[in-house]
Amino acid sequence: MFDVLVYLYETYWRPDACPDPVQLQRKLTAVGFEREEIREALQWLAGLSVAAESVAAQTQASSLRVYTRDELEHLGQASIDFISFLASAGVLPPALREVVLDRAMAIAGGPVDLEDLKIIVLMVFWSSGEEPDALILDELFVAPEDRLIH
């Protein structure tokens, strides 16, 4: 599923640039993605759209987030730490943080792999029409061992 999401991000610069779901499914099949992988990704994206709409009206300047036991177990410490880092850096507002959490909780299994969470964060920014700044893109894409230290 995550490969499909990354493909969509790289191919369509905004969600509204994507074709309708039927045509998109055909294109993804033609590119070589498996039917089940496409189905999961499209369902996940539909949930992303619903979650984004439900928090669009929220304009909280700041908030304190307390995680439930289920969230702690499902997300894992590395993912929670990364979400906290983004929020404390001021790049993940509370409303978008809640969308990230909603979509991460929608992933089967657990704990959520940090690399998968980064894709979720990227797709949340993508769905909101926002481009994260260069430093955040670096955090989302570049492996720590590949970073140059200045």
Hey, is 120 helix, strand or coil? helix
Greatest Cα pair distance in the chain: 48
What does the pLDDT read at residue 137?
A: 65
- What pTM was estimated for this model as a whole? 0.80
Answer whether 132's CB lies under 8 Å from 122's CB.
Answer: yes
What does the pLDDT read at residue 59?
A: 54
Tens place of pLDDT for every residue, the chain, 150 residues? 999 999 998 898 788 888 888 999 999 999 999 999 999 999 999 999 888 877 655 555 567 889 999 999 999 999 999 999 999 888 888 999 999 999 999 998 879 999 999 999 999 988 887 777 666 666 666 555 544 444
**Residue 52 is which amino acid?**
A
Q: Token digits for 120?
A: 């979720």
Q: Which residues, including other chains, have CB under 8 Å from residue 90's CB and lie 6 or more apart?
A: none
Kindly provide the residue ranges of all beta strands, DSSP E only, lying in the chain, ordered along the sequence.
none
How far is 7 from 2, CA to CA, in rounded Å?
A: 8
How far is 1 from 104, CA to CA, in rounded Å?
A: 13
How far is 2 from 44, CA to CA, in rounded Å?
A: 10
Q: How many domains does the chain have?
A: 1
How far is 74 from 64, CA to CA, in rounded Å?
A: 20
**Residue 32 DSSP code:** T
Hey, is 60 helix, strand or coil? coil
Range of the domain at 135: 2-146
How far is 104 from 90, CA to CA, in rounded Å?
A: 20
Answer whether 90's CB lies under 8 Å from 62's CB.
Answer: no
